[in-house]
Amino acid sequence: MGIKNQLSKRSFLFLGAGAFVIILSVTLFALTRGTKKVPHPPEKAVVHDNGERIEFKPNSPGLEIVKASVIGGGGEFVNLEAPARLIASTSPSVSGGSRIILFESAELNDLYVGYVHAKNKVYRSRKNLSRIQDMFKHRVATEKDLVESETDVGNDAAELAEFEGKLRAVGLNPSELATAGNKKAWIISDVPESQISNLKRGKRVTVKFSSFPDEIWEGQAEAIGDNVDPYTRTAKVRIEIINKDYRLKPGMFGVVKFPEETADNTVILPFNSIVTVEGKNYVFVEHEPLNFVRKEVVLGVSTKDVVNIIDGVKQGDRVVIQGSILLKGLSFGF
């Protein structure tokens, strides 16, 4: 009996110790779970100075999509591309003349023919006025004859100016058409108004036509149109090209590239880094980590991928190249 009692007591002590260990483990586990760190809720970005500066917190929503990069420049090329069409070309005459001018449409042809006729009328009326003036001086013609002759000169000059104005509005210079040599062709390209200041007369350009996709043609920008289309906000640039073997035909479409070499101190940016609000262009510069400053910039030559920055940022600035739309919304309250 004594031995059995001692075993029973030992078993009880063993079981009691085991239970104590289990309870202690459960308690420690509960305490450990209770002290586990709870993550802080995301902190929104703070907008300062009416949107000119945006301050992010390390866990601010959207921060992960904002990427900035140090920008540079110097001798890079940006090619302005614009649609173009061949509007007129010289061609050998089959009726015995030296050459004729072919136009892309009958309307343009009628305009040019009207211009030539009006120019001849002005020449005749001026000669007639000179004759009447001489006759009036010798009292052979009356004052009425002189007034009528002067009126004819004015009317004919006004008609000539009307035809010339219509031709220049579509990008053609009628006096150059009249004196052009063989194998000449003229291309009209519609260039955005914002890019006009970057184009210069005499600039060499390249053209690729839809009819000859594997060939590149070289031309020269002759002149920029005298007016801007109020709807498309484009100006017409006239380009002269040599029509080798007369393969190019009026009405053909193509794309013209205006190469532009930037200066050493200019800046090239991805076009998607630019945001536009109420006609003004902006970028965001990472002034210091997690702090972005809005900068207004002046754009130069651009393509669908990159843009030349004339003023507003400089080489070495850390500019946002991804996530600009998010910063735009924060900055302007969109």
The answer for residues whose C-beta is within 8 angstroms of residue 247's C-beta and 6 or more apart is 212
Give the Å distances, CA to CA, from 76 to 180, 198, 218, 262, 317. Answer: 36, 15, 21, 6, 17
Residue 110 sits at φ, ψ, to 5 deg, of -65, -40
Report residue 121's pLDDT band, with 50, 70 and 90 as the boundaries: very high
Whole-number Å distance between alpha carbons of 274 and 304: 12
Does the pLDDT of residue 96 top 90, yes or no?
Answer: no
Instruction: Report yes or no: 184 and 190 within 8 Å, Cβ to Cβ.
Output: no
Whole-number Å distance between alpha carbons of 259 and 257: 6
Q: What is the mean pLDDT of residues 24-47?
A: 62
Structural domains of the chain sorted by starting position, each given as residue range(s) with its CATH number in brackets: 46-76+264-332 (2.40.420.20), 100-176 (1.10.287), 181-261 (2.40.30.170)
Instruction: Report yes or no: 327 and 284 within 8 Å, Cβ to Cβ.
Output: yes
pLDDT of residue 79: 67
57 vs 228, residue with greater confidence:
57
Instruction: Report yes or no: 167 and 112 within 8 Å, Cβ to Cβ.
Output: yes
Mean pLDDT of the chain, nearest integer: 83
pLDDT of residue 195: 72
Instruction: Report yes or no: 319 and 312 within 8 Å, Cβ to Cβ.
Output: no
User: Residue 280's beta-bridge partner residues?
Assistant: 277
pLDDT of residue 78: 58
pLDDT tens figures, 162-185? 999 999 888 888 888 888 888 899
pLDDT of residue 15: 41
pLDDT of residue 33: 54
pLDDT tens figures, 269-287? 888 999 999 989 999 999 9
Whole-number Å distance between alpha carbons of 43 and 60: 5
Q: What tokens appear for 39 in the block? A: 């993550």
pLDDT of residue 73: 56
Q: How many CB atoms lie within 10 A of CB 40?
A: 9
pLDDT of residue 13: 41
Among the residue ranges 68-77, 177-186, 311-320, the one predicted with the least confidence is: 68-77
Q: What is the mean pLDDT of residues 276-302?
A: 91
pLDDT of residue 19: 46
